[in-house]
């Protein structure tokens, strides 16, 4: 997702509700349960998120303290056709059983929307730093203060995590991810079937580049490669959804709301497109130690990934998807008071990438 400086927040009285609802779920048998005031991340149009700390005395008389994150399903600023916070939490629970996949520990999944007004889940807060989207981590923030070798290590560890996801072979997890209304016989066919439904849902909100996206959609559907690869697809694979420890190891992978199955090139195409969106498309250059597109592909292959066919097709798919998201985001931001020209700048940048990839896809010699 493309995050904005808008703060997610829970409705009034939520803290009091949780103060009485949480103890038996988080601290059964404990006494003296307390929760801190809420704080919120600088982002969130895909869900409402708050941070807080829970304290209690356990049955042995020891005082416990846990930093928690509450993620509630959004209903008033929907970016997706079918938001499903509990599903995202269950995906993380299942992935947590796979070697090499660092995900937050899920504490509770709540399907009942009568508690806080929407389904939600609780997870332990992870200590680490996440590269930002706004402003771009290629230009500002803690990543610009790292040494070249530290940035190299960050990139390598990030790509290793992506490869680890694509090597997951958990039949139960894959069957869970396939349990959707799509009708295609292969992973890519199901993905494109869902994309068709998403496009039809989002078309009325295409305030930028509707004609370009119509052309791109036709190419995506008619020129889809023949592949039966069907593994775990993160759906939002990028360094901006990773938390890094001080040693540049990956502490956690976030945002699994669009996770599905299909060829791993879906994720790699998204990864490559998103970094071009945050860097070259904004007029920036890669910092020393940060891999460019070709370097990322080489590392992905070196670390055990596999690419079949033209990755430009998957970059086009990724840019198309981000154009749908950012067009919807522009509508919501303008609705919430942001200057229309500023709101429209989000989809304008990525629609330009759609045009570029369309051109590259039909030019001989593209990688």
Question: What's the N-to-C CA distance of the chain in angstroms?
Answer: 26
Tell me the pTM: 0.90
318, 274 in Cβ contact below 8 A? yes
Please name which of 128, 88, 324, 109 lies closest in space to residue 213, comparing C-alpha atoms: 324
- Confidence at residue 80, expressed as pLDDT on a 0 to 100 scale: 53
- Confidence at residue 6, expressed as pLDDT on a 0 to 100 scale: 35
- Confidence at residue 366, expressed as pLDDT on a 0 to 100 scale: 44
Per the omega criterion (within 30 degrees of 0), is the bond before 145 cis? no
Token pair listed for 142: 């803690």
285, 252 in Cβ contact below 8 A? no
d(CA 279, CA 13): 41
Whole-angstrom CA distances from 102 to 93, 236, 259 are 11, 15, 15
- Confidence at residue 205, expressed as pLDDT on a 0 to 100 scale: 83
> What is the residue-wise DSSP string for 336-359?
TT--HHHHHHHHHHHHHHHHHHHH
- Confidence at residue 137, expressed as pLDDT on a 0 to 100 scale: 97
d(CA 174, CA 79): 24
Whole-angstrom CA distances from 73 to 6, 76, 271 are 16, 10, 25
Q: Determine if residue 255 is left, alpha or beta; phi over 0 gives left, psi from -120 to 50 gives alpha, anything else beta.
A: left
Q: Which residues contact 53 (CB under 8 A, 6 or more apart)?
A: 35, 36, 65, 66, 67, 68
d(CA 11, CA 75): 13
Sign of the alpha-carbon dihedral angle for 207, 198, 119, 244:
negative
d(CA 367, CA 360): 9
Please name which of 110, 79, 77, 69 lies closest in space to residue 254, comparing C-alpha atoms: 69
Residue 304: is it exposed, middle or buried by C-beta count within 10 angstroms (0-12/13-18/19+)? exposed
- Print pLDDT tens along the chain (367 aa): 333 333 334 655 788 899 999 999 999 999 999 999 898 876 544 458 899 999 999 999 999 999 999 998 876 555 555 678 999 999 999 999 887 799 999 999 999 999 998 899 999 999 999 999 989 999 999 999 999 999 999 999 999 999 999 999 999 999 999 876 556 689 999 999 999 999 999 998 899 999 999 999 999 999 999 999 999 999 999 999 999 999 999 999 999 989 999 999 999 999 999 999 999 999 999 999 999 999 999 999 999 999 998 999 999 999 999 999 999 999 989 998 999 999 999 999 999 999 999 999 988 544 4
d(CA 206, CA 233): 26
Q: Which residues contact 214 (CB under 8 A, 6 or more apart)?
A: none
Q: Determine if residue 179 is left, alpha or beta; phi over 0 gives left, psi from -120 to 50 gives alpha, anything else beta.
A: beta
Token pair listed for 221: 């559907």
The helix (run of H) or strand (run of E) holding residue 330 is helix 311-335
């Amino acid at each position: 997702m493309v995050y904005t400086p808008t703060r997610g927040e829970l409705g009034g009285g939520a803290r009091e509700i949780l103060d009485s609802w949480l103890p038996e779920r988080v601290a059964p048998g404990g006494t003296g349960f307390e929760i801190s005031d809420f704080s919120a991340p600088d982002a969130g149009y895909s869900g409402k998120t708050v941070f807080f700390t829970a304290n209690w005395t356990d049955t042995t008389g020891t005082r416990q303290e846990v930093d928690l994150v509450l993620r509630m399903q959004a209903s008033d600023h929907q970016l997706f056709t079918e938001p499903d916070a509990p599903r995202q939490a269950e995906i993380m629970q299942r992935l947590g059983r796979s070697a090499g996949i660092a995900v937050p520990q899920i504490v509770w999944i709540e399907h009942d929307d009568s508690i806080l007004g929407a389904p939600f889940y609780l997870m332990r807060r992870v200590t680490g730093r996440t590269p930002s989207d706004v402003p771009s981590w290629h230009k500002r923030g803690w990543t610009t203060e790292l040494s070249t070798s530290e940035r190299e290590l960050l990139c390598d560890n990030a790509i290793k995590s992506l490869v680890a996801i694509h090597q997951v072979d958990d039949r139960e997890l894959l069957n869970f991810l396939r349990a959707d209304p799509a009708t295609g016989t292969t992973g890519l066919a199901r993905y494109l079937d869902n994309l068709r439904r998403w496009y039809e849902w989002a078309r009325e909100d295409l305030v930028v580049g509707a004609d370009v996206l119509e052309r791109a959609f036709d190419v995506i559907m008619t020129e889809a490669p023949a592949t039966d690869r069907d593994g775990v697809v993160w759906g939002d694979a990028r360094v901006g959804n990773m938390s890094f420890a001080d040693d540049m190891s990956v502490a956690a992978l976030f945002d699994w709301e669009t996770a599905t199955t299909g060829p791993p090139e879906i994720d790699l195409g998204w990864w490559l497109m998103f970094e071009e969106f945050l860097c070259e498309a904004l007029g920036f250059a890669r910092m020393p130690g940060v891999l460019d597109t070709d370097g990322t592909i080489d590392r992905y292959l070196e670390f055990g990934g596999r690419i079949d066919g033209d990755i430009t097709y998957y970059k086009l798919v990724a840019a198309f998807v981000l154009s749908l998201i950012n067009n919807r985001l522009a509508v919501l931001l303008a609705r919430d008071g942001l200057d229309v020209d500023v709101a429209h700048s989000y989809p304008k940048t990525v629609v330009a990438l759609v045009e570029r990839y369309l051109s590259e896809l039909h030019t001989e010699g593209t990688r």
